[in-house]
A and B are shown apart, each in its own frame.
Chain A
């Protein structure tokens, strides 16, 4: 009799442990799926905001007459505060530039891209959206953004240098870009 009871007890314990393990695995799986889905939705929202920014830039740049200027207010694309660098930026190329995103050869383009800023063309090729700007030339103010890059120094070997790039970096809050057109050249300049 005692043996039977022990066996029953053991089977019951085994069953409850198994149930508990399965429940924990089930809950963890649900959590992983929910977090993954939320992540997908969140990324899609940032991309929609990037698209909206590009729509605004393209539309306003192409609506300008010579001698006019207009302001574009663009939403924040970064998740962190302003003290952290964000990989979203605005860049532009002219049709006669040597390096330009592949899909937009022979066009003057304004782009909103996501990626490392030390290789602008590649970042825009991989995760970037570009639109044609109908003008003789486009310019992005050279002092718009500074970035640290690895450089070779004859005396000290590999060092880090601060260089200025013709890009406009997005922030976690609002940015203002002044778009002007003079002698057929459309210029983009970050304000503030």
Chain B
């Protein structure tokens, strides 16, 4: 009698859980479409966040294949100085930021825009912890390879007439250490759970914005804040992994770093390779090879926030690496890390 009651209670609880799950999914899907219709003036940022949430939580019909929810994130176009015709000719919704004549104030304006773009991108994409593109995409089924997929969060260009001496003094790392993002009591690094011990190379962003050939081969005085995610094949398990023949307990780590390791045909982030989970993902993927010297240079000079580990949400049994990176906005730099670019230009 007691067992029967227990069974019945269990059945009812399972029923409630099922209904609750269906209701949550239905709510997310409904909210997504309401936002799409722009009801009550909900903006692009909310639509972007919600589409990412929907993409990471809506269940899949095939194991490991992300549902075909489009990422409703529009690339933000920022012109520092107000005159970036060469960069944004023919494009709509360009945010033109007038820079102050005071060199210190204008430097802070540039630092804030870049830091906020970096912060927003990492935050919008669930700090890299959500399985957005699916761990076993259709491409893996076809070729056995996982493909790095990206969204360009922002493009930031600087007026060619802006004072280069101001840009040369831009230091994003210092700004992110000494300032807080809007609505937070902590600095950028702490708010984002990123360790600030690694060096975030200030010269990268200065050089890229100034179009210096050392940093920006196309001298385009424009950088892009790019979110990239690459996932391990589904057979890869995050619990305990083998790296170099030794069993390594897989944790999950978020970090900021900027360097690159090359060897045995692989050119990937140092943070990814030095992290046990990241290294084993790269080993499992096997073919994550970035070939040219130009590409490796782009990787080495990049400023990154990265997470390697097990995802939360729908893909909680899957593992991958997510990265937000600031790169010169040109074909060779962007395509070196992004085989597929999603989102709205």
A residues in contact (CB < 8 Å) with B: 27, 30-31, 34-35, 37-39, 41-42, 45, 48-49, 52-53, 55-60, 63, 70-76, 78-83, 172-176, 191-192
Q: How far is the CA of A170 from the CA of B89 in the complex (A)?
A: 20
User: Contacts of B61 on A, CB cut-off 8 Å?
Assistant: 31
Of A39, A56, A76, A192, the contact of B90 (CB 8 Å cutoff): A56
Q: How far is the CB of A59 from chain B (nearest CB, A)?
A: 3
Of A38, A55, A80, the contact of B70 (CB 8 Å cutoff): A38
Q: How far is the CB of A102 from chain B (nearest CB, A)?
A: 25
Q: How far is the CA of A87 from the CA of B90 in the complex (A)?
A: 24
25 pairs, CB–CB < 8 Å, chain A vs chain B: A27-B22, A37-B33, A39-B68, A45-B70, A48-B344, A55-B90, A55-B92, A56-B91, A57-B90, A59-B89, A59-B90, A70-B89, A71-B218, A73-B329, A73-B330, A75-B344, A75-B345, A76-B340, A80-B138, A81-B339, A172-B339, A173-B150, A173-B338, A173-B341, A176-B331
Residue with the highest number of chain A CB atoms closer than 10 Å, among B22, B92, B341:
B341
Is B341 touching A35 in the complex (CB atoms < 8 A)? no
Is A174 touching B68 in the complex (CB atoms < 8 A)? no
User: Contacts of A57 on B, CB cut-off 8 Å?
Assistant: 90
Is B72 touching A45 in the complex (CB atoms < 8 A)? yes
User: Contacts of B29 on A, CB cut-off 8 Å?
Assistant: 34
The answer to the question of B178 belonging to the interface, with a C-beta cut-off of 8 Å to chain A, is no
Is B341 touching A174 in the complex (CB atoms < 8 A)? yes
The answer to the question of B36 belonging to the interface, with a C-beta cut-off of 8 Å to chain A, is yes
Q: How far is the CA of A174 from the CA of B61 in the complex (A)?
A: 30
> Whose C-beta in chain A lies nearest to the C-beta of B338?
A173
Q: How far is the CB of B21 from chain A (nearest CB, A)?
A: 11
Q: Given A45-B72, A191-B331, list of 11 further CB < 8 A pairs?
A: A35-B67, A38-B67, A38-B69, A45-B344, A52-B344, A56-B89, A63-B89, A70-B89, A82-B339, A173-B150, A192-B332
Is B91 touching A55 in the complex (CB atoms < 8 A)? yes
User: Contacts of A63 on B, CB cut-off 8 Å?
Assistant: 89
> Whose C-beta in chain A lies nearest to the C-beta of B75?
A75
Q: How far is the CA of A160 from the CA of B274 in the complex (A)?
A: 49
Q: How far is the CB of B50 from chain A (nearest CB, A)?
A: 12
Is A174 touching B331 in the complex (CB atoms < 8 A)? yes
Give 9 closest A-B pairs by Cβ, nearest first.
A59-B90, A75-B345, A42-B70, A56-B90, A172-B340, A76-B341, A176-B331, A173-B335, A173-B341
User: Contacts of B329 on A, CB cut-off 8 Å?
Assistant: 73
Q: How far is the CB of B76 from chain A (nearest CB, A)?
A: 14
Is A49 touching B331 in the complex (CB atoms < 8 A)? no
Is A49 touching B345 in the complex (CB atoms < 8 A)? yes
Is A173 touching B334 in the complex (CB atoms < 8 A)? yes
The answer to the question of B213 belonging to the interface, with a C-beta cut-off of 8 Å to chain A, is no
The answer to the question of B139 belonging to the interface, with a C-beta cut-off of 8 Å to chain A, is yes
Q: How far is the CA of A165 from the CA of B133 in the complex (A)?
A: 34
The count of chain B contact residues (Cβ–Cβ below 8 Å) is 36
> Whose C-beta in chain A lies nearest to the C-beta of B87?
A73
Q: How far is the CA of A39 from the CA of B68 in the complex (A)?
A: 7
Residue with the highest number of chain B CB atoms closer than 10 Å, among A38, A70, A78, A192:
A38
Q: How far is the CA of A41 from the CA of B51 in the complex (A)?
A: 11
The answer to the question of B26 belonging to the interface, with a C-beta cut-off of 8 Å to chain A, is yes
Is A73 touching B89 in the complex (CB atoms < 8 A)? no
Of B26, B58, B341, the contact of A75 (CB 8 Å cutoff): B341
Is A38 touching B89 in the complex (CB atoms < 8 A)? no
> Whose C-beta in chain A lies nearest to the C-beta of B339?
A81
Of B67, B69, B90, the contact of A60 (CB 8 Å cutoff): B90
Q: Mark B2-42, 1 if CB is under 8 A from A, else 0.
A: 00000000000000000000100010010001001000000
The answer to the question of B193 belonging to the interface, with a C-beta cut-off of 8 Å to chain A, is no
User: Contacts of A41 on B, CB cut-off 8 Å?
Assistant: 36, 70, 72
User: Contacts of B86 on A, CB cut-off 8 Å?
Assistant: 70
User: Contacts of A78 on B, CB cut-off 8 Å?
Assistant: 340
Q: How far is the CA of A60 from the CA of B89 in the complex (A)?
A: 6
Is A81 touching B70 in the complex (CB atoms < 8 A)? no
Given A81-B339, A174-B334; A30-B344 close (CB under 8 Å): no
Of A37, A80, A176, the contact of B330 (CB 8 Å cutoff): A176
> Whose C-beta in chain B lies nearest to the C-beta of A74?
B345
Is B330 touching A58 in the complex (CB atoms < 8 A)? no
Is B331 touching A175 in the complex (CB atoms < 8 A)? yes
The answer to the question of B147 belonging to the interface, with a C-beta cut-off of 8 Å to chain A, is yes
User: Contacts of A191 on B, CB cut-off 8 Å?
Assistant: 331
Is A52 touching B70 in the complex (CB atoms < 8 A)? no
User: Contacts of B334 on A, CB cut-off 8 Å?
Assistant: 173-174
Is A80 touching B340 in the complex (CB atoms < 8 A)? yes
Residue with the highest number of chain A CB atoms closer than 10 Å, among B90, B147, B150, B341:
B90
> Whose C-beta in chain B lies nearest to the C-beta of A82?
B339
Residue with the highest number of chain B CB atoms closer than 10 Å, among A59, A73, A82:
A73
Q: How far is the CB of B141 from chain A (nearest CB, A)?
A: 12
Of B92, B331, B345, the contact of A192 (CB 8 Å cutoff): B331
User: Contacts of A42 on B, CB cut-off 8 Å?
Assistant: 68-70
